[in-house]
Amino acid sequence: MFGRWLKGRTERSASAGSRRDLERFVESLRRQTAEELGTLVATAALIRTRMRSEGHFADDMLRVASSPEQALLTQRLGHMVTTYKNAKQPAEMAGTLVWLHTLRALAAPQLRILGRQLWEQLERGQPYAQRALRGIEVLSGKPLPLGAQSACDFIPDDLDPIELAIRRTPQNGLG
């Protein structure tokens, strides 16, 4: 009895923490320019592309689900965020946060609308991501990984902001 109560309380606390973190992240994205978001989109695309090439980020992880593999990837991304934070690499940390929050939103229905808001903001930066990729390539002196350019146009199907736009139309009474 006590074990179930404690487990439920822990899960609710973790969910509330994830919600607050995601709300803060989305709010920070709202304050960024489209060009700044382009750099974030490019960085997130590079992180995902590299992880995919290493076999750590399968495409099926970016669907509504709650699998052990998805949980492991979420945990790995959380560790990466901490590593980038400690190494004072804010761009890489932010790019990793995109995927951490995306996976959390896909795994938890109560975070899904925030996940769509996240991608709504990132979509503003997509037109500037290719330019940012070229800048990253020049600065690093390394060629871009295969698929990085097309990865900048990616939006997870289950978090596509189009649903937000439909909900906000005046004929639905939500606009």
The 10 Å Cβ neighbour count of residue 74 is 19
* pLDDT for residue 65: 76
Average pLDDT, the chain: 87
Q: Decide: 131 and 139 in contact? Cβ < 8 Å.
A: no
Question: pLDDT band at 59, cuts 50/70/90?
Answer: confident
Ordered by start, the domain boundaries in the chain are 18-172
Name the region of 145 (left: φ>0; alpha: ψ -120 to 50; beta: rest): beta
Question: How far apart (Å, rounded) are the C-alpha atoms in residues 168 and 149?
Answer: 31
Question: What value does the mean pLDDT take over residues 158-175?
Answer: 63
* pLDDT for residue 71: 92
Q: Is the pLDDT of residue 169 over 60?
A: no
* pLDDT for residue 175: 45
Q: Decide: 15 and 108 in contact? Cβ < 8 Å.
A: yes
The 10 Å Cβ neighbour count of residue 159 is 26
Question: pLDDT band at 58, cuts 50/70/90?
Answer: confident
Q: Is the pLDDT of residue 62 over 60?
A: yes
Question: pLDDT band at 15, cuts 50/70/90?
Answer: low
pLDDT digits (tens, 9 = 90+) for 92-145: 999 999 999 999 999 999 999 999 999 999 999 999 999 999 999 999 999 999
The 10 Å Cβ neighbour count of residue 148 is 22
pLDDT > 90: what percent of the chain? 73
Q: Decide: 126 and 133 in contact? Cβ < 8 Å.
A: no
Give the global pTM. Answer: 0.83
Q: What angle do CA 129, 104, 60 make, to 5 degrees?
A: 70
